[in-house]
Amino acid sequence: MPSFKVKVKWGKEMFPDVEVNTEEDPLLFKAQLFALTGVQPNRQKVMVKGMTLKDTEWGNLPLKDGVMVLLMGSKEEDVPSEPAVKPVFMEDMNESELATAMDLPAGLTNLGNTCYLNATVQCLKTVPELRDGLQSFEASVGGGSFVPSQSITVALRDLYAMMDRGASFSPLILLQVLRLAFPRFAEKGAGGVYMQQDANECWTELVRMLQQKLPSKPVEGSKYQPKSLIEQYFGGRFDVEYKCNEASEEEPTRSEEDFLQLSCFISQDVRYMLSGLRSKLQEHITKNSPTLGRDAVYTKTSKISRLPAYLTVQFVRFYYKERESVNAKILKDVKFPMEFDAVELCTPELQEKLTPMRDRFKQLEDRKVEEQLNLKDKKAGDSKVKTRKEPYWLENDLGSNNSGYYTLQAVLTHRGRSSSSGHYVGWVRQSDNTWLMCDDDKVTPVSAEDILKLSGGGDWHCAYVLLYGPRIMEIPEGMDLSSSTAEKVVEKMETENSSNTQ
């Protein structure tokens, strides 16, 4: 019998009916103990009747139902910090240490078909406001009860902290609490091997758990008060109208819907992301008509009334094939932009709010063109001009987007023919034209041109989830955007003409 229910004693605390499965790796049991006590696996000493549990094998540990398991070890916050690390020369570094020295982020170990989790973690890590929110989250796990949202939030916080130290790292704790919270991620196939999972489902569940625990940043005087940081920075809102196609006399009904990601539906006619998004925002549905007293066809039209700072777009590439009982993949090539303008998808009221910042971007581009045409006034070898960053959110709505302009900052791709097989990879922007391919524990620099090749059309990596961040306006110090030189010339000519007419 490989599965037992044991009692775990840790100091003065007792945890009854803790399940142990000896068919799994002992590290998974230690991860489960971490979820209960907060003691990191590398600090745990687990003993049963004088015998110590190893990390790699169960050995002859005398396990049975009701046996007492003794856990020794302290939480990380109860242990003094380690001494400073001695300097290491580059010629003495291994591959992972060199990656750290070259400012490459840490990779994540594949624990057996866990690339879906690794890619998701790498993409979400590109959001600085999410990182700040996690660092400020002071709760810990333990206390005997398993709270999925808190355990996942703590595990992701600690994982990012470990990744910041460089080199590759194992996401074992996060994986274990994810499987405890959502058993479908612990499904096994033939031979007892953990099955591949859908990365977008993992993304959705992680974000939903964070939504329950990370509080929003307060904004004084704001009418919009989001409940969580996720809603504040990732959440958008639709204005929705339902119009009955079979009863013209029936008044349209209107409502609001919140969203955390947009869906890009892929049909035979869709070649670009924007057209796939449009097809979802106007669709036909069937629902009961109070005028006709029966089900009727309605046109559902959605327009965005709030744009979040970070816009998540899922390419709906998988559909269920009944004959093979698999989620088959649509390999069609669908182009996506590095810079995305979402204004066309917005309500007229929101478009009006976005206009001032859009005009400022236009003025900035015009001034840059003028400066390029006036290069003779600049000396060669001048140092880089300092800039100041303008807020990207609407007044009294922290976490929104005030221009409708977005910049692509992360792509999650899938290579294979179904969502339950193949391989997932995260691609994240490091600088303007440099990206990083995060393929589990291997992190490799790539170019922006490589990212544009991820649009699909074959068995190469296909974009599945895109993460767009706000386009940041950076104004060179001393530049005045009130009016450009060309505008001043026009104004002067208009004034002279007016004077001559009089």
pLDDT of residue 96: 53
Tell whether 18 is covered by a domain. Answer: yes
State pLDDT tens for residues 153-164: 999 999 999 999
| pLDDT beneath 70: ranges in the chain | 1, 76-103, 142-144, 221-223, 321-322, 324-326, 375-384, 482-502
Q: Which of 492, 472, 438, 453 is nearest to 117 (CA)?
A: 438
Q: Exposed (0-12), middle (13-18) or buried (19+): which is 382, by Cβ within 10 Å?
A: exposed
In a domain, 48, yes or no: yes
- CA-based nearest residue to 17, from 30, 3, 7, 26: 7
Radius of gyration of the chain (CA): 27
60, part of any domain: yes
Contacts of 52 (CB under 8 A, 6+ apart): 45, 46
In a domain, 347, yes or no: no
| Residue 231: closest CA among 244, 213, 252 | 213
Instruction: State the pLDDT at residue 101.
Output: 55
- Cα dihedral 358→363→365→371 (10° resolution): -170
Return the pLDDT at 477.
79
CATH classification of the domain holding 48 = 3.10.20.90
Confirm whether 418 is domain-assigned.
no
Give catalytic residues, as residue numbers.
115, 423
Domain count, the chain: 1
Residue 356, token pair as written in the block:
């001032």
> Which pLDDT score, from 0 to 100, does residue 41 have?
87
Residue 14 lies in a domain: yes
pLDDT of residue 490: 42
Do the domain assignments include residue 62?
A: yes
Per-residue model confidence (pLDDT) at position 36: 85
Please, are residues 315 and 334 in contact by the beta-carbon 8 Å criterion?
yes
Q: Which domain holds residue 63?
A: 3-72
Residues 39 and 29: beta-carbon distance below 8 Å = no
